Amino acid sequence: MLTIDLRGKRALVAGVADDGGFGFAIAKALAEAGASICLGTWPPVLGIFATMLERGKLDRALALASGGKLAFERIYPLDADYDVAADIPAAVRDSKRYRDLGDVSIGGLAERLAAEFGGQCLDIVVHSLANAPEVKKPLLETSRHGYLAAVGTSAYSFASMLGRLGPLVRPAGSFLAISYLAAERVVPGYGGGMSSAKAALESDTRTLAFEAGRKWGLRVNAISAGPLASRAASAIGDIEGMIEHCRAASPIPEAITATDIGNAALFLSSPLAAGITATILYVDKGYHAMGVSGDASPTCRPL
């Protein structure tokens, strides 16, 4: 029987601040296979997340199938808008939620990991980060600032993480990002430049796979996930409507779960996927393959 054994491996999952999103599900799946887990969490929500953990509010979600409990090796403050400390504006650096956290940039994260664990200390890096300040605006109404902010946080940060964390990942390691079908299809309501950001993320995944593969022997993939009613997704608007539409139209008429994404990420991050890189894996119950709704009457016939 083929099994996934990640004992002795260390994963960094960036973009976890609660137990309801893809990042948490991926962290849990990797831990179930034996990996030790470090997190990167956005500073404005870090305190709330830490408090929930300390007070046992997440204990049920942290329970592992083995009977143990998911424990995070480290939780680092991470603001993926900034590549190095010098990029962080003084107003942000000196604000209440940042001033005691030190260097929260991507470069700062790399330095902390190297200082605490040494040189090549990672095996798996997961980018579960996305943000668009104008996500509820149609693209026609999105400002240049909002558009570039969406692309910077949601796409460029993946390239930045690879550039700065790549040297810390052992050969045959894995980088993984989370994308969405709006990268290649029109999804009304998914605005503010987010569709453009996901398209950039998927294009970058292929280019980075070549560059990181040749330079460090690393694999780089992305999962195109179906919609999930996470706390972060609530910013989009009618997320429940999007989920119901996808469920009704898909070959398997079910909504995806965070566990579906966690299990797919576990596979892609494991030695069983050693031959897979530069790939966008759809995990959406087959919705991406549909041309019309699965329950619609045919409007044309073959000749």
Question: For the chain, what percent of residues have pLDDT higher than 90?
Answer: 87
- The DSSP secondary-structure symbol of 62 reads H
Tokens found for residue 214: 């040749």
Report d(CA 36, CA 254) in Å as an integer: 32
Decide: 88 and 104 in contact? Cβ < 8 Å.
Answer: yes
- If you search the block for the tokens 């031959």, which residue do you land on? 275
Pairing mode, strands 36-41 and 72-77: parallel
Average pLDDT, stretch 170-176? 97
Average pLDDT, stretch 82-104? 97
Task: Convert the pLDDT of each residue in 111-149 to its tens digit.
Answer: 999 999 999 999 999 999 999 999 999 999 999 999 999
Residue 185's Cβ-count burial label (10 Å; 0-12, 13-18, 19+) is exposed
φ, ψ of residue 267 in degrees (nearest 5): -60, -50
Report d(CA 134, CA 235) in Å as an integer: 10
For residue 245, CA distances in Å to 152, 233, 299 come to 29, 16, 19
Average pLDDT, stretch 54-62? 96
Among the residue ranges 4-13, 180-189, 233-242, the one predicted with the least confidence is 233-242
Q: Active-site positions?
A: 180, 190
Q: In the chain, what are the domains? A: 10-284 (3.40.50.720)
Average pLDDT, stretch 16-28? 96
Task: Convert the pLDDT of each residue in 181-220 to its tens digit.
Answer: 999 999 998 999 999 999 999 999 999 999 999 999 999 9
In whole angstroms, what separates CA 148 from the centre of its chain?
19
Average pLDDT, stretch 275-302? 79
Q: Report the number of secondary-structure helices (H) and strands (E) in the chain.
A: 10, 7
Decide: 211 and 159 in contact? Cβ < 8 Å.
Answer: no
Average pLDDT, stretch 151-177? 98
DSSP 97-150: TTTTS---SHHHHHHHHHHHH-SS-EEEEEE-----TTTTS-GGG--HHHHHHH
Residue 266 has pLDDT above 70, yes or no: yes
Tokens found for residue 130: 């996305």
